Amino acid sequence: MSLRIRTSACTALAVAALAAGTVLTAPAAGAAPKAAAPTFLSASQLPPHPTSSWTAGPVTEGFPEGLGLCVSTEGVPSYDYRHREFWTDLDTTAVQLTVVTGTAAQAKALAKHYDDLVRTCADRIEETTPDVEAESRDYGKLPVEEGARVRGLHTETTWGATDIALLSVGRDGRTVTVVKWGQMGDFHNAPVTAFKKTTTTAVNKLY
């Protein structure tokens, strides 16, 4: 999305961890078992653009700035973060993040934490940025691996800029993935059905 707003991660991290029956603490050095790196989406697996094809960037180490609007690493251990960015010739972009934790319990807590951040993102934007109105929508859960959830976020500034994003959080074992699609527009421009298919593919492809 064109709107770049830094927001702090909500304090629900501890609650999410307790609700998941674990604590989001970093595993001891060498404690996490080694596994194959998660596989990422390809450009052809993103929601089709009506007039432009998608281009996929390389898989890159670290946390993507493109998720900074709603999701961040604040308060989260230094897990194995990797991401891939996508773009069209016009105004549409996307990004996929994968996070490999130490255990399935840690991944469950992290997935809940990230979903909570996405769920509360609109409220946090309005609290910290008075000239932006934000609205979120819940598009429900997806029955894939250990589960995924899709949400939408619309933002509009006082000077007329309007952006729409779809975000999903899913999990397979001890790995969490977050996918974001965004462009200028509103909820009418959001390809929800296609994005649900993309999310399902993203979680299935992890391993």
Q: Kindly state the tokens that stand for 134.
A: 């934000």
- Asked if 81 and 65 count as a contact pair (C-beta separation under 8 A), the reply is no
How far is residue 96's CA from residue 85's CA, in Å, rounded to a whole number?
Answer: 7
Q: Is residue 10 part of a domain?
A: no
Count of the separate structural domains present in the chain: 1
The predicted structure's pLDDT at residue 34: 57
Domain holding 87, by residue range, is 55-204
pLDDT band for 3, please (50, 70, 90 cuts).
Answer: very low
Which residues face 119 on adjacent strands? none
Least confident of 5-14, 103-112, 138-147, 150-159: 5-14
Average pLDDT, the chain: 86
The predicted structure's pLDDT at residue 197: 98
pLDDT band for 36, please (50, 70, 90 cuts).
Answer: confident
Q: Is residue 16 part of a domain?
A: no
Which residues face 169 on adjacent strands? 149, 178
Q: Is residue 23 part of a domain?
A: no
Q: Kindly state the tokens that stand for 163.
A: 């952006």
Model confidence at 75: pLDDT above 60: yes
Q: Is residue 21 part of a domain?
A: no
Model confidence at 181: pLDDT above 80: yes
| Alpha-helical regions (H) of the chain | 12-19, 104-119, 121-128, 192-205
Model confidence at 7: pLDDT above 50: no
Q: What percent of the chain has pLDDT over 90?
A: 77
Q: Is residue 111 part of a domain?
A: yes
The predicted structure's pLDDT at residue 170: 98
- Asked if 5 and 125 count as a contact pair (C-beta separation under 8 A), the reply is yes
Q: Is residue 44 part of a domain?
A: no
Report DSSP letters for 149-162, one per residue.
EEEEEEEEETTS-E
Can you tell me the mean pLDDT for 74-85? 92
pLDDT band for 44, please (50, 70, 90 cuts).
Answer: very high
The helices-and-strands tally (H runs, E runs) of the chain is 4, 8
How far is residue 191's CA from residue 193's CA, in Å, rounded to a whole number?
Answer: 6
pLDDT band for 68, please (50, 70, 90 cuts).
Answer: confident
The backbone torsions φ and ψ at residue 130, rounded to the nearest 5 degrees and listed phi first, read -60, -25
CATH number at residue 168: 3.40.1000.70
E strands, 12-67, in order: 55-56, 60-61
pTM: predicted TM-score of the whole model, two decimal places: 0.83
Can you tell me the mean pLDDT for 171-195? 97
Q: Kindly state the tokens that stand for 199.
A: 């999310």
pLDDT band for 77, please (50, 70, 90 cuts).
Answer: confident
The predicted structure's pLDDT at residue 21: 41
Q: Is residue 18 part of a domain?
A: no
Which residues face 155 on adjacent strands? 134, 163
Q: Is residue 153 part of a domain?
A: yes
Cβ-in-10-Å burial (0-12, 13-18, 19+) of 96 comes to buried
Model confidence at 5: pLDDT above 50: no
User: pLDDT tens digits for 119-164?
Assistant: 999 999 999 999 999 999 999 999 999 999 999 999 999 999 999 9
